[in-house]
Structure 1
Amino acid sequence: MAIKEPLIQEHKNNPWMVYFTTFVAVCGSYEFGACAGYSSPTQYAITQDLSLSLAEYSLFGSILTFGAMLGAITSGPVADFIGRKGSMRVSSAFCVAGWLVIYFSEGPVPLDIGRLATGYGMGVFSFVVPVFIAEIAPKDLRGALTTLNQFMIVAGVSVSYVIGTILSWRALALTGLIPAAVLLLGLFLIPESPRWLAKRGREKDFEEALQILRGKDADISQEAQEIKDYIATLERFPKPNLVELFQRRYLRSLTIGIGLMLCQQLGGINGVCFYTSSIFELAGFSSAIGSIIYACLQVVITGLGAVMIDKAGRKPLLLVSGSGLVMGCIFTAVAFYLKAEQVSVGAVPALALTGILVYIGSFSIGMGAIPWVVMSEIFPINIKGQAGSLATLVNWFGAWLCSYTFNFLMTWSSYGTFILYAAINALAILFIVVVVPETKGKSLEQLQAAINA
């Protein structure tokens, strides 16, 4: 049964409620960043105060990723069952509980339990926030608003890093309660995803939510009918289980979603991000200065990407980003090769700094945010929960694999590590050229009908 592409007519909408709703949702993204950025500035203080060994603190840091994997597995079904707002409430509750447990911890076990809980919240947020934003936003704003997810993650990480140098580790844990509290309060003031309401058969609530988002004077009749018709068409198909996601009808969207997540993570980002300081130290550059430049550049370029995504398009930014990642890896590999061979050693610090900054700037302009944007756009609503959970799980597994193997690879060969990452990012460019479609300027229904026809 083919899914016909709907016809779209333009409506004059008031975007202010969409902006406010997005602001509330991305408080979850900021919470994500606060969780991710917590362990870096607190390592010395926590290990000293609680007498932790390096292995115990390493477990504390890495268990966040396992919590995120659990969150990824359950995020789709939870978001489908209790709604996008409901799943954000659950995620916030886990983060609040986790931060409080960390604050009151007097030993490694409660510390790990708290970290695991915040990791679970991260995993749910990583799926539900971009999906929720994509489902509420008009097509001309969808890319920029969804990219704010990544911008707020980066902001959360950067702020945690900066204020973590001033506050105690317990006080820093309490600051993690602030975005969760803002989100929980804000959820009482914003509507649920209209598309989720339509899928649940709550037609009156669906139309009310869409009217609130588009403005009280906006004509929503065409958009509302389009969404209802598309969901009615999808409901004729049986709800697929995990194995049936791989049937031909959904295979292209699944390939795009999972492929982009692998491209994002296997290109080395978590190795570079988690061990920036040690990379700079190994290259002979000040880790403090390098990390501050790194954090500032990441925030600025991610913001620039959010502005450009609906003008330049997803695919061009991904290709620019991938090309820059290759160049950044090559610069860094050359720096470490010169150091290993003791040739032009004086140029090594500047070359390594250039390579890492080119790498993170390139990642921030496209590969950081756009895979999440595209993932939130391409899955039909009847498989979005399961397919989105699978893609998010793949992302977190890739994050763990990259961060776990980085030190082993650097021990094997510092320049070889970055040559390997350059090769993977080159393959990512090929994947983007051949497989990934442009999604700019199309409604979710148009886009999904074209991909999953």
Structure 2
Amino acid sequence: MVMEEGLLLARHQNDRDDLRITACVILSTFVAVCSSFSYGCASGYTSGAETAIMEELDLSIAQFSAFGSFMNVGGAVGALFSGQMAVILGRRRTLWVCDFFCIFGWLSIAFAKDVLWLDLGRISLGIGVGLISYVVPVYIAEITPKHVRGAFTVSNQLLQNSGISLIYFVGTLINWRVLAIIGVVPCFIQVIGIYFIPESPRWLAKIGSGKEVESSLHRLRGKDVDVSGEAAEILVMTKMVEEDSKSSFCDMFQKKYRRTLLVGIGLMLTQQLSGASGITYYSNAIFRKSGFPETLGSMIFGVFVIPKALMGVILVDKWGRRPLLLASAIGMSIGSFLIGVSFALQERNLLPELTPIFIFVNILVYFGCYAIGIGGLPWLIMSEIFPINIKVSAGTIVALTSWTSGSFVTYAFNFMFEWSPQGTFYIFGVLGVLSMVFIWMFVPETNGQSLEELQVLLTGTT
């Protein structure tokens, strides 16, 4: 009871200064999402560089499909160690490790003379982005005030989309090796920037550094702000969960955590089985099959995606997570079905002059809806719903789910598309409908609540 009263008192005391956004929060978020930009470049790279790489290195479709999917294989490896590494090394040092793998990966691709170095670079890049996909949203969620936590964390997805857009826009215009050099630049910026940002106060509380918690919060909230209330809330809740659990791997399977684990895994499957990674990696192949000009399609796509992702950043704390997820799933499902219908019309030689435009427009609809919701919100919600004592194990399982399912979709997409373009998108449309049902039934609204309040709400920890 004493702890509960202290937690409630800390919450009320903290509310007055909660609306403040400092330059340090903005800088810390910017530095963190530099790696997200590199992640986006990696996601779009295979589409922009496909033709040139296959011709120069004489790759078959199977070899290039393997090259594309190897980032997801590496991502699964990175995901296995992401949570534990973020706890042992801290969020900032883990970002440095991400940069090491990404820099090695990009340079290996840029100077590759054969498929071996190409694949090795892609796997290394995958390990880096596998770590990024966990630590970046967690770090941002842990340093930002609750009223802007959604927007700041979803900026992770905005920068990913910006990286994809850049590669799509210039990918058909410049050499594939130069594209790889572009991808490495944000990593070098982050390596330097990490020196100037604070560690997560919640990680500091986890390792028992009470004084450093307040020091970190002062940098994040302002030196003239009384952070004692927020520090007390973080320290009290951290102590409560440590007393409540021994933090073993099996803890996350306790009954009180089952809902959060189901939501985390389910949202990652929703994101990956929608087919977005496969379409992103091989969009130029889709444009070719539809008869739409590749260069024009890539450029328009590159310009289109960023405003939609920016819309998600603006709306996530105004509308909430659930409405955006539902709207996103509905739009993606409709877009998938309409792409499938358009390919069916093309196969029957109906409206031959219009079907390429129909396909392209519906790809824009699909990705616009993906960018505002399902593209980034699963990682935001993952960073919010797990309490500190299971964040490592649960976060690792969730990230691993994302990367392994993404690897399957990425590798299978080319073969599915060769089998039946319309059938491929009908499958994605059906999975989109199932996603809507899952979101409606299981996903909670997390908007406007502190991470400690969410833990009480979702797990009943008191």
TM-score range, shorter chain: over 0.9
Matching residue within 294, 310, 316 for 1:287: 294
- Asked whether the 8 Å contact 1:331–1:354 carries over to 2, the reply is no
Q: 1:346 to 1:31 in 2, by over 3 A?
A: closer
Percentage of pairs with the same residue: 42
Aligned to 2:440, what secondary structure does the other structure show? Answer: helix
Query: 1:48 and 1:410 mapped to 2: Cα distance?
Result: 21
Identify unmatched segments of 5+ residues in structure 2.
Answer: none
Query: 2:130 and 2:445 mapped to 1: Cα distance?
Result: 27
- Asked whether the 8 Å contact 2:68–2:411 carries over to 1, the reply is no
* 1:129 equivalent in structure 2: 136
Bigger Cα displacement from structure 2, 243-252 vs 77-86 = 243-252
Aligned to 1:141, what secondary structure does the other structure show? Answer: helix
Matching residue within 377, 382, 389 for 1:370: 377
Alignment-mate amino acid for residue 250 of structure 1: Y
Matching residue within 189, 193, 215 for 1:186: 193
2:26 is equivalent to residue 19 of structure 1: yes
- Asked whether the 8 Å contact 2:83–2:396 carries over to 1, the reply is yes
- Asked whether the 8 Å contact 1:67–1:116 carries over to 2, the reply is yes
Q: 1:170 to 1:357 in 2, by over 3 A?
A: closer
2:190 is equivalent to residue 215 of structure 1: no
Matching residue within 319, 324, 327 for 1:320: 327
* 1:231 equivalent in structure 2: 238
* 2:95 equivalent in structure 1: 88
Bigger Cα displacement from structure 2, 244-253 vs 258-267 = 244-253
Query: 1:347 and 1:59 mapped to 2: Cα distance?
Result: 33
Bigger Cα displacement from structure 2, 86-95 vs 43-52 = 43-52
* Shift, 1:28, TM fit: 1.2
Alignment-mate amino acid for residue 147 of structure 2: D
- Asked whether the 8 Å contact 1:4–1:449 carries over to 2, the reply is no
Aligned to 1:440, what secondary structure does the other structure show? Answer: coil
- Asked whether the 8 Å contact 1:11–1:220 carries over to 2, the reply is no
Q: TM-score, normalization: structure 1?
A: 0.95
Query: 2:354 and 2:67 mapped to 1: Cα distance?
Result: 37
* Shift, 1:429, TM fit: 0.8
Q: 1:109 to 1:299 in 2, by over 3 A?
A: same
Q: 1:286 to 1:167 in 2, by over 3 A?
A: closer
Q: 1:418 to 1:43 in 2, by over 3 A?
A: closer
Query: 1:71 and 1:229 mapped to 2: Cα distance?
Result: 31
Alignment-mate amino acid for residue 369 of structure 1: G
* 2:113 equivalent in structure 1: 106
Matching residue within 413, 437, 441 for 1:434: 441
* 2:161 equivalent in structure 1: 154
Query: 2:344 and 2:171 mapped to 1: Cα distance?
Result: 34
Bigger Cα displacement from structure 2, 311-320 vs 97-106 = 97-106
- Asked whether the 8 Å contact 1:11–1:218 carries over to 2, the reply is no
Aligned to 1:439, what secondary structure does the other structure show? Answer: coil
How well do the aligned residues superpose, as a CA RMSD in angstroms? 2.0
Query: 1:109 and 1:409 mapped to 2: Cα distance?
Result: 25
* Shift, 1:54, TM fit: 4.4
* Shift, 1:169, TM fit: 3.0
Q: 1:146 to 1:381 in 2, by over 3 A?
A: same
1:409-448: CA deviation from partner (whole Å, max 9, x where unpaired): 3344332222221111111111111111111100000012
Alignment of 1:298-377 (within 5 A): 298-377=305-384
Alignment-mate amino acid for residue 298 of structure 2: S
* 1:271 equivalent in structure 2: 278
* Shift, 1:11, TM fit: 2.7
